[in-house]
């Protein structure tokens, strides 16, 4: 049986590519990778790179685009990042809390994806 090793790349479908590019680059600080694709922006990240791609599907602005998936990112300072996101009006849906993964919190991107952050663990 062939083996599967685990996630290697993540793509988030977005409604507004430019709005999401601004969010992930200018607010979260991810650097776009040199890879250029139509209707998408890839970001350099470790250990797993990710991209945002313009959705070809029209979604109701009030619908939850998340689909029940949380994406986890690591930071060196969860409280400072949480404060930075609040200052930029980013919705925090789970406030800073201690966990086995260090201090964690969860926020929403412009499309309602749940993005969680941890700083250790």
Q: 23: domain CATH number?
A: 3.10.180.10
Q: 120 in a domain, yes or no?
A: yes
Q: Among 105, 106, 113, 24, which residue's Cα sits nearest to residue 68?
A: 113
Instruction: Answer whether residue 68 shows pLDDT above 80.
Output: no
Q: 87 in a domain, yes or no?
A: yes
Supply the pTM of this predicted model: 0.78
How many domains are contained in the chain?
A: 2
Considering the domain architecture, whether residues 73 and 107 belong to the same structural domain is answered as yes
pLDDT value at residue 98: 94
85-102 residue pLDDT tens: 999 999 999 999 998 889
pLDDT value at residue 57: 61
Considering the domain architecture, whether residues 74 and 29 belong to the same structural domain is answered as no
Q: 64 in a domain, yes or no?
A: no
Instruction: Answer whether residue 55 shows pLDDT above 90.
Output: no
pLDDT value at residue 72: 87
Burial state string for 14-30 with b = 16 or more CB within 10 A and e = fewer than 16: bbeeeebbebbeebbeb
Considering the domain architecture, whether residues 48 and 78 belong to the same structural domain is answered as no
Considering the domain architecture, whether residues 51 and 73 belong to the same structural domain is answered as no
> Which residues span the domain enclosing 49?
8-56
């Amino acid at each position: 049986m062939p083996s599967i090793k685990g996630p290697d790349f993540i793509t988030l479908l977005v409604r507004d590519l430019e709005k999401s590019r601004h969010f992930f680059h200018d607010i979260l600080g991810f650097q776009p990778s040199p890879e250029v694709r139509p209707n998408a922006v890839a970001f350099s990240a470790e250990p797993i790179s990710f991209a945002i791609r313009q959705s070809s599907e029209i979604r109701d602005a009030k619908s939850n685009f998340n689909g029940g998936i949380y994406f986890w990112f690591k930071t060196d300072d969860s409280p400072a990042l949480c404060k930075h996101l609040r200052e930029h009006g980013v919705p925090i849906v789970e406030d800073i809390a201690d966990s086995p993964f260090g201090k964690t919190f969860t926020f929403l991107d412009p499309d309602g994806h749940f993005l969680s952050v941890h700083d250790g663990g």
